[in-house]
Chain A
Amino acid sequence: MTALRRIDPPGLLFGAMGVGALLLPFLHFRPNRIVLGDAVHLGPFYVAMVSGLLAIGMLRLPQWARLGSGVAGAMLLVWLAGALAAELSDGAPAAARVSPASGAWLGLAAFVLLIADALSKMRLALSLRMAALALACGAVAGLLLSGHLAQISVLQEYAARRDVFAAQSLRHLTLAFGSLVGALIVGLPLGLLLYHERRLRTGVMGILNLLQTTPSLALFGMMIPLLSWVAANVPGAAEMGIAGIGFAPALIALFLYSLLPVVGNTVVGLDNASPLAREAARGMGMTPAQVLARVSIPLALPVIMAAVRIVLVQNIGLAVIAGLIGGGGYGTFVFQGLNQTATDLILLGAVPTVAMALVAGIALDLAAEAFER
């Protein structure tokens, strides 16, 4: 029993993930970018090192020790991937590819979860958590710039598309943030209106719900004739880049998907802003506008901020779909990859998307916390 008490329950889960990772292949060595290739496993020495680090994470040790083992484990796996890839590629034909296999991804996930778990249990001050996020972003950027991972297949795909990649990143951000800003400009006043006019709620929320549940492909399909007509008949529209497919319908679709969370949370936030505080505000002689500006909106802000977070993370993910209709963004790589059955190219679109959503989510959480004090 005493031995059991020394085990950290989430650590046990990460440990199990890690063991699974060690049993699975670590890398794939493939003659070209499309075929499957041979599995490469880690040698016994590295298996022992990884197991040791996982064991530290499984024990009820001071959290800085678990954090340390997580960081060390993640760094070890990344270093191994880069070094092994370089070794395998050395002297191999130019078309050959080395890509991380399930073992590498699962192992990295186990250590990243261990880091996250240790960090959350350390209850760091806000500023330290902000610093940790910046440090993690910096470390990843530094790693990519160092060229250590250059022989990994995803980065070889990147190398072949270096100039397009930057433009598509910018396009992806524009889609996600642009639709969010649009949703705020329209959604906040709309939420305010519905807060005052209860009669309109059922109708408007019904429409927004309908939009939210419309599959994106159907939405795109409906926009093709609409926007083509606009482009053909509204002067200047075509010059602005509005067309049946491309950037404009993608942005509009994301905007429409963002409306429900923004409007819904604005209404709920305002509704739930302490009724006593509002009653007191009115009783002390505030005008309706003053009650709204000084009491209701500030009290609703945390709920509205939650909507901003949901929308931003959701839109970063959803923006991939723009690739389907030539709207640009990381989806371009994902759909090209799907067409060519080139997994590495799919990952070149998928991994940055996930990373961007993750960073945006954490950054907004931290911002919301900073805001509330």
Chain B
Amino acid sequence: MIEVQSVSRRFDDLTAVEDVTLTVGQGEMVALVGTSGSGKTTLLRMINRLVEPTSGRILLNGVDTGTLKPHLLRRRIGYAIQGHGLFPHYTVAQNIAVVPELLRWPKDRIRERVDALLALFQMPPVEFRDRYPAALSGGQQQRVGVARALAAEPEVLLMDEPFGALDPVTRARAQADLRAVQARLGTTTVVVTHDMEEAIALGDRIAVLDRGRLVQYAAPAQILTAPANDFVGQLIGQSERPFRLLALSRVSDHLEPGAAPGTPIDAESSARDALAECLWSGRDALPVVRDGKPVGRVTMAALAAHAGGPG
């Protein structure tokens, strides 16, 4: 658990972060969103003390991080950055092993951990262990970067625009992978992004920052339906809002009994995909299947009703 308590950071006469208080619960994934210069990266870097707060304090599992040695604190916190920051002169395995080596884990434990992480990110260890970062695709480099951040079983994972350098297709896959891995490991995670879509895809909760201040901290659905002010509304994008809202729910949430013609859709697909399919194939309703068996249907009317705002 991370508790940020009235934290501010000033650089000369510029206030990067002003009096921010927020709590990230155990096992939660929180997205920090804002435009450039909103202070989101500075806030993230204060958690592992790459930047020191000017005032206020940050507790990690109840302990004031200011009382710990910075490099020892950082070894307990996974850190992944945009453009991955892999060491070009280390192999994939050596890169992932950096923090376990710093913590002096036994050799076989490190080896096991490296292989397990590579397998977790669907990179067969035999094939990838001894490669150099230059011999990997952008998506693979990014996965190694995240695997490295997770290597020493950190209490907390911090990510700064981790997927910023990836193309849209690779990025969507990386987000899904991260979500799955995070759910499996239950690591408390804070991810910085300027992209509201990414924040919605990743965050259990979203913290919106504007000019150093925390303007809203809430679950994605609430951010979408009740933006705290115009700035949050702009970040969401008015025309995108209904679709982003739909993307948060599954087809199974809108299931009703009955039948419909045409190709069925899986109950676990997002409601957004279902609406897209309705529009594209010109149907008012789609048959829904789960594990290949028909379980009912979903109608465009139900989806449309859900996509509307509270007013």
Q: Using a CB–CB distance below 8 Å, which chain A residues touch chain B?
A: 274, 276-277, 279-287, 290, 294-295, 298-299
**B interface: dominant SS:** mixed
The 8 Å CB contact of A276, one of B74, B81, B148, is B81
Chain B positions 192-229 with a Cβ under 8 Å from a chain A Cβ:
none
In the complex, identify which listed stretch (B85-93, B241-249, B251-259, B272-280) lies at the interface while the others stay far away: B85-93
Do A277 and B98 have beta carbons less than 8 Å apart? no
The smallest beta-carbon distance between A354 and chain B, in angstroms, is 36
Distance A290 CA – B71 CA, assembled complex (angstroms): 11
B73 near A: Cβ within 8 Å? yes
Chain B positions 167-187 with a Cβ under 8 Å from a chain A Cβ:
none
The smallest beta-carbon distance between B95 and chain A, in angstroms, is 9
Known contacts A284-B75, A285-B72, A285-B102; is A298 also within 8 Å of B89 by CB? yes
Do B102 and A277 have beta carbons less than 8 Å apart? no
Known contacts A282-B50, A284-B98, A285-B102; is A276 also within 8 Å of B71 by CB? no
The 8 Å CB contact of A285, one of B71, B86, B87, is B71
B83 near A: Cβ within 8 Å? yes
Which residue in chain B gives the minimum CB-CB distance to A276? B85
Do B74 and A299 have beta carbons less than 8 Å apart? no
Do A276 and B83 have beta carbons less than 8 Å apart? yes
13 residue pairs from A and B, CB less than 8 Å apart: A277-B85, A279-B50, A279-B85, A280-B79, A282-B74, A283-B50, A283-B79, A283-B158, A284-B99, A284-B102, A284-B149, A285-B71, A286-B98
B48 near A: Cβ within 8 Å? yes
With a CB–CB cut-off of 8 A, which chain B residues contact A287?
Answer: 71
With a CB–CB cut-off of 8 A, which chain B residues contact A277?
Answer: 85-88
B84 near A: Cβ within 8 Å? yes
The smallest beta-carbon distance between A199 and chain B, in angstroms, is 18
Distance A282 CA – B81 CA, assembled complex (angstroms): 12
Do B86 and A280 have beta carbons less than 8 Å apart? yes
Do A285 and B81 have beta carbons less than 8 Å apart? no
Distance A284 CA – B72 CA, assembled complex (angstroms): 9
Chain B positions 57-97 with a Cβ under 8 Å from a chain A Cβ:
71-77, 79, 81, 83-89
**A interface: dominant SS:** helix
The smallest beta-carbon distance between B221 and chain A, in angstroms, is 32
With a CB–CB cut-off of 8 A, which chain B residues contact A298?
Answer: 89
Do B102 and A295 have beta carbons less than 8 Å apart? no
Across the A-B interface, how many residue pairs have beta carbons closer than 8 Å?
Answer: 59
With a CB–CB cut-off of 8 A, which chain B residues contact A279?
Answer: 50, 81, 85
With a CB–CB cut-off of 8 A, which chain B residues contact A281?
Answer: 85, 87, 98
Apart from A286-B102, A299-B88, A299-B89, list 12 A-B contacts with CB within 8 A.
A274-B85, A277-B85, A279-B85, A280-B81, A280-B86, A284-B74, A284-B98, A284-B102, A285-B73, A285-B99, A294-B87, A295-B87
Q: Which 7 A-B pairs have the closest CB atoms?
A: A280-B85, A285-B75, A285-B74, A283-B79, A276-B85, A285-B71, A287-B71
Distance A284 CA – B88 CA, assembled complex (angstroms): 16
Distance A299 CA – B71 CA, assembled complex (angstroms): 22
With a CB–CB cut-off of 8 A, which chain B residues contact A274?
Answer: 85, 88
Interface centre among A276, A287, A294 (most CB of B within 10 A): A276
Distance A341 CA – B77 CA, assembled complex (angstroms): 75
The smallest beta-carbon distance between B65 and chain A, in angstroms, is 13
The smallest beta-carbon distance between A153 and chain B, in angstroms, is 52
Which residue in chain A gives the minimum CB-CB distance to B73? A285
With a CB–CB cut-off of 8 A, which chain B residues contact A294?
Answer: 87
The smallest beta-carbon distance between A292 and chain B, in angstroms, is 13
The smallest beta-carbon distance between A273 and chain B, in angstroms, is 10
The smallest beta-carbon distance between B37 and chain A, in angstroms, is 19
Distance A207 CA – B26 CA, assembled complex (angstroms): 57
Distance A290 CA – B99 CA, assembled complex (angstroms): 12
The smallest beta-carbon distance between B81 and chain A, in angstroms, is 6
With a CB–CB cut-off of 8 A, which chain A residues contact B145?
Answer: 280
The smallest beta-carbon distance between A282 and chain B, in angstroms, is 7
The smallest beta-carbon distance between B274 and chain A, in angstroms, is 41
Distance A279 CA – B102 CA, assembled complex (angstroms): 16
Which residue in chain A gives the minimum CB-CB distance to B70? A285
Distance A102 CA – B88 CA, assembled complex (angstroms): 50
Distance A277 CA – B79 CA, assembled complex (angstroms): 12
With a CB–CB cut-off of 8 A, which chain B residues contact A282?
Answer: 50, 74
Interface centre among A274, A280, A281, A287 (most CB of B within 10 A): A280
Distance A298 CA – B98 CA, assembled complex (angstroms): 15
Interface centre among B76, B77, B87, B88 (most CB of A within 10 A): B87
The smallest beta-carbon distance between A113 and chain B, in angstroms, is 34
The smallest beta-carbon distance between B282 and chain A, in angstroms, is 49
Which residue in chain B gives the minimum CB-CB distance to A282? B50
The smallest beta-carbon distance between A291 and chain B, in angstroms, is 10
Distance A283 CA – B77 CA, assembled complex (angstroms): 9
The smallest beta-carbon distance between A187 and chain B, in angstroms, is 23
With a CB–CB cut-off of 8 A, which chain A residues contact B74?
Answer: 282-285
With a CB–CB cut-off of 8 A, which chain B residues contact A285?
Answer: 71-77, 99, 102
Do A286 and B71 have beta carbons less than 8 Å apart? yes
With a CB–CB cut-off of 8 A, which chain A residues contact B148?
Answer: 284
With a CB–CB cut-off of 8 A, which chain A residues contact B50?
Answer: 279, 282-283
